[in-house]
Amino acid sequence: MPDPIAVWHAEHEYFGRLLKVLESQVAVFHGGEQPNYELMRDIVFYLRKFSDQVHHPREDAAFAILARREPASQLEINRLLQEHRVIAHAGEALLVLLEEIVGGAFVPRAQVESAASTYLVYYRNHIASEERQILPRAGELLGAQDWKAVADAAPLLHDPLFGGDPQERFRELRREISRESPRPQ
Ligand SMILES: [Fe+2]
Ligand SMILES: [Fe+2]
């Protein structure tokens, strides 16, 4: 079984790479140029699918175990649980805007830019908090049985973007990610 903390960390790295591509598109947008809206939409779509439906539910399960073993971590964990809900809402709102634009609707520039920037800042802070305060503690306090319960909380059969043979709609995004930042070692 692969080291669950290493897998957890690797997922954060993948999300970081997606956020970096999203950020570069927001910068294009900010510079008055036309960004690749389809690419932006696919990034947020993927994060809504994978992160909100697999990564976060698994974290929620890990957090619950951690809070039982270390009650002092409960406050921090409550904050992170709340952030999962905020990220899901902010992601959905941004996805709706991007879908509208891709579909040809007019959306005010400031509205898209602010939704995307808020999402970026919020997401990055969230990942940084988990990396700093949760992963090291979980590595110490969770055992093999716990990790099985965490994985079972949200089964994933195939990652449509980062797994082998990415889905058709994610091929361009996958190429873009390789260009932006080579695969982490
Ligand atoms: Fe999280
Ligand atoms: Fe996370």
Q: Which ligand is nearest to the CA of 10?
A: 2
Range of lowest pLDDT (1-5, 82-86, 92-96, 115-119): 1-5
Instruction: Determine contact, residues 19/25, Cβ cutoff 8 Å.
Output: no
Residue with tokens 């039982």: 68
Ligand 1 geometric centre to CA of 112 (Å): 24
Q: In this model, does residue 5 exceed pLDDT 60? A: yes
| Residue 88 pLDDT | 96
Give the residue among 53, 65, 46 at the shortest CA–CA distance from 4: 65
Q: In this model, does residue 34 exceed pLDDT 70? A: yes
Give the residue among 138, 102, 99 at the shortest CA–CA distance from 12: 138
Instruction: Determine contact, residues 24/120, Cβ cutoff 8 Å.
Output: no
Ligand 2 geometric centre to CA of 101 (Å): 29
Q: Which ligand is nearest to the CA of 135?
A: 2
Ligand 1 geometric centre to CA of 179 (Å): 26
| Residue 127 pLDDT | 98
Q: Crossing angle of helices 4-30/37-46, nearest 10°?
A: 150
| Residue 129 pLDDT | 98
Q: What is the pTM of this model?
A: 0.91
pLDDT category at 1 given cuts 50, 70, 90 is low
pLDDT digits (tens, 9 = 90+) for 68-85: 999 999 999 999 999 999
Ligand 1 geometric centre to CA of 147 (Å): 16
Instruction: Determine contact, residues 21/177, Cβ cutoff 8 Å.
Output: yes
Q: In this model, does residue 183 exceed pLDDT 70? A: no
- CA dist., res. 1 & res. 16, Å (int): 24
The domains found in the chain, sorted by start residue, are 4-154 (1.20.120.520)
| Residue 167 pLDDT | 81
The mean pLDDT of the chain is 92
Q: In this model, does residue 184 exceed pLDDT 70? A: no
- CA dist., res. 138 & res. 45, Å (int): 29
Mean predicted confidence (pLDDT) in 35-55:
93
| Residue 185 pLDDT | 39
pLDDT digits (tens, 9 = 90+) for 120-167: 999 999 999 999 999 999 999 999 999 999 999 998 777 888 887 778
The dihedral built from the CA positions of residue 70, 73, 75 and 81, taken in this order, carries a sign that is negative
Ligand 2 geometric centre to CA of 104 (Å): 33
Mean predicted confidence (pLDDT) in 22-34:
90
Ligand 2 geometric centre to CA of 2 (Å): 17
Instruction: Report DSSP state, residue 46.
Output: H
Please report, for residues 9, 130, 144, the alpha-carbon distance to residue 12 in angstroms, rounded to integers and kept in the order given: 5, 9, 21
How many residues are given for the chain? 185
